[in-house]
């Protein structure tokens, strides 16, 4: 079975993926900022001991046991945060299953960052899975909790539900029609964060935006889900409307997406940034039925394997930047030509 990031989900023409993240801290340990190397390892071992009781096919893996390419491939797949995988201490571990739809970071900003993910727009089902998993852990290891404030976290902005719900959206129609600024302003005014694909501090690129809730205190999990669902549905509606407007000038639209497809198909070498930007146009053309040589699976494979670390994992070897650009062009052709 294909991993979630290669599957087609609900509303996947606009919503690339959905994620639920629950921050939790163990009641019997200080927060991360108060832990030294030895006590961080004790947190890891405490969590490792309960893995057999959790199920879900979860496996315990230490960061120090991963090579750099594996670490970066996890980051590229949004299974870990930049802060977690790039830490200099080489302290940290994670629980992950073979499908990679569950990824629990240990000793990131909190003792536990429980993440569940899926393709497309699927926040309600993910919430059920996230809570189910969180309760299984909490039944064995009590969490730091206040009757007044809710779940206690390393960062004050997460206190309360400690829930972050996010969707990754592809908005080329709004960008091309010049309406993206207005939409982002509405999202912000509705109490949502808008960030790049790798979260806080990352740049916006390839018309990809990560939309998530800001508020975690004084609001229930149900309300957070309801609010994000409402704003995402409006974004989907406006993006599809923008695409209809673009389609009225069919020659211009077709010219742009076929030019992008032509470069992707015929280049002898290509950087990950250029490939990512061209793929944004190609995905738009594929979703609108203009480009018939591709399907959703091929687009998702391209999205994954043009990235440096996952390209090297695909090839099964470590290669330098210049050769990567050459090999990337070859892999793009291979995926496009797959039967």
Same domain, 25 and 171: yes
Same domain flag for 206 and 262 = no
Structure confidence at residue 203 (pLDDT): 53
Q: For position 205, what pLDDT does the model report?
A: 67
177 burial (CB, 10 Å; 0-12 / 13-18 / 19+) is middle
- Choosing from 193, 211, 241, the residue where a domain stops is 241
**Residue keyed to tokens 């801290």:** 25
* Co-location of 59 and 81 in the same domain: yes
CA distance 117 to 92: 21
Write down the pLDDT at residue 191: 86
Please indicate whether residue 339 or residue 224 has the higher confidence score (pLDDT): 224
pLDDT in tens, 198-243: 555 545 568 999 999 999 989 999 999 999 999 999 999 999 999 9
Burial class (CB in 10 A: 0-12, 13-18, 19+), 222: exposed
Mean pLDDT value across the chain: 93
How many domains does the chain divide into?
2
Phi, psi for residue 86 in degrees, rounded to 5: -105, 10
Let me know whether 21 and 119 are in one domain: yes
What pLDDT shows up at residue 189?
87
Please indicate, yes or no, whether residues 77 and 180 belong to a single structural domain of this protein: yes
186 and 270 in a common domain: no
Q: Give the model's confidence band at 2: pLDDT under 50 very low, under 70 low, under 90 confident, else very high.
A: confident
Closest CA to 161 of 228, 239, 252, 243: 228
Quickly count: other Cβ atoms within 10 Å of residue 12's Cβ.
Answer: 19
User: What count of other Cβ atoms lies within 10 Å of the Cβ of residue 13?
Assistant: 19
Pick the residue with more confidence: 83 or 197?
83
State the virtual CA torsion across 157, 22, 212, 201 in degrees, nearest 10: 60
* 8 Å CB contact between 216 and 160: yes
The three-class DSSP label of residue 116 is: strand
Among 217, 241, 265, the domain boundary falls at: 241
Question: Using one digit for the tens of pLDDT, what is the confidence trace for 152-177?
Answer: 998 888 999 999 999 999 999 999 99
229: CATH: 3.30.590.10
Domain co-membership, 194 together with 326: no
With beta carbons less than 8 A apart as the criterion, state whether 227 and 191 touch: yes
- Structural contact between residues 112 and 47, judged by C-beta atoms closer than 8 angstroms: yes
Domain that holds residue 81: 4-241
φ, ψ for residue 14, nearest 5 deg: -115, -45
Structure tokens at 152: 């206690």
Evaluate whether 168 touches 16 at the Cβ level (below 8 Å): yes
Contact 165, 212 (CB under 8 A): yes
CB distance 170 to 208 below 8 Å: yes
Residue 149 and residue 273 in one domain: no
Q: Are 280 and 157 found together in one domain? A: no
Query: pLDDT tens, 54-66?
Result: 999 999 999 999 9
pLDDT at res. 200:
54
- Residue 48: left (phi > 0), alpha (psi -120 to 50), or beta? alpha
- Cα separation, 275 vs 68, in Å, equals 23
Tokens of 94: 């994670």
Among residues of the chain, what percentage have pLDDT more than 70?
97
Pair (46, 174) in one structural domain: yes
For residue range 268-327, list pLDDT tens digits in order: 999 999 999 999 999 999 999 999 999 999 999 999 999 999 999 999 999 999 999 999
Q: Is residue 1 scored above 90 in pLDDT?
A: no
- Checking if the pLDDT of 120 tops 50, the result is yes
Residues 211 and 188: their CA atoms lie apart, in Å, by 9
**Structure confidence at residue 202 (pLDDT):** 47
Q: Within this chain, do residues 222 and 308 fall inside the same structural domain, yes or no?
A: no
CB 17 within 8 A of CB 296: no
Regarding whether 172 and 60 lie in a shared domain, the answer is yes
> Where a domain ends, among 241, 267, 289?
241
């Amino acid at each position: 079975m294909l991993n979630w990031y290669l599957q087609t989900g609900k509303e996947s023409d606009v919503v690339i993926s959905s994620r639920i993240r629950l921050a939790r801290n163990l009641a019997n340990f200080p927060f991360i900022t108060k832990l030294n190397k030895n006590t961080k390892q004790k947190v890891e071992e405490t969590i490792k001991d309960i893995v057999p009781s959790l199920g879900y096919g979860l496996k315990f893996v230490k960061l120090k046991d991963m090579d750099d390419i594996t670490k970066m491939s996890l980051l590229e797949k949004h299974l870990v945060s930049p802060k977690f995988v790039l830490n200099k201490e080489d302290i940290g571990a994670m629980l992950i299953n073979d499908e990679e739809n569950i990824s629990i970071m240990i000793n990131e900003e909190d003792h536990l960052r429980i993440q569940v993910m899926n393709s497309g727009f699927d926040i309600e089902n993910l919430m059920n899975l996230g809570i189910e998993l969180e309760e299984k852990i909490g039944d064995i290891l009590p969490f730091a909790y206040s009757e007044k404030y809710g779940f206690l976290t390393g960062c004050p902005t997460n206190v309360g539900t400690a829930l972050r719900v996010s969707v990754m959206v592809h908005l080329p129609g709004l960008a091309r029609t010049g309406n993206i600024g207005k939409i982002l302003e509405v999202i912000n005014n509705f109490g949502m964060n808008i960030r790049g694909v790798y979260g806080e501090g990352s740049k916006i690129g390839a018309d990809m935006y990560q939309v998530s809730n800001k508020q975690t205190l004084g609001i229930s999990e149900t309300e957070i889900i309801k609010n994000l669902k409402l704003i995402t549905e409006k974004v989907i509606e406006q993006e599809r409307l923008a695409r209809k407007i673009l389609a009225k000038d069919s020659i211009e639209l077709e010219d742009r997406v076929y030019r992008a497809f032509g470069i992707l198909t015929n280049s002898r070498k290509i950087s990950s940034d250029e490939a990512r930007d061209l793929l944004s146009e190609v995905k738009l053309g594929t979703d609108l039925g203009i480009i018939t040589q591709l399907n959703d699976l091929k687009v998702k494979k391209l999205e994954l394997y043009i990235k440096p670390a996952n390209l090297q994992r695909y090839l099964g070897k470590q290669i330098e930047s210049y050769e990567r650009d050459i090999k990337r062009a070859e892999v793009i052709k291979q995926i496009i030509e797959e039967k």
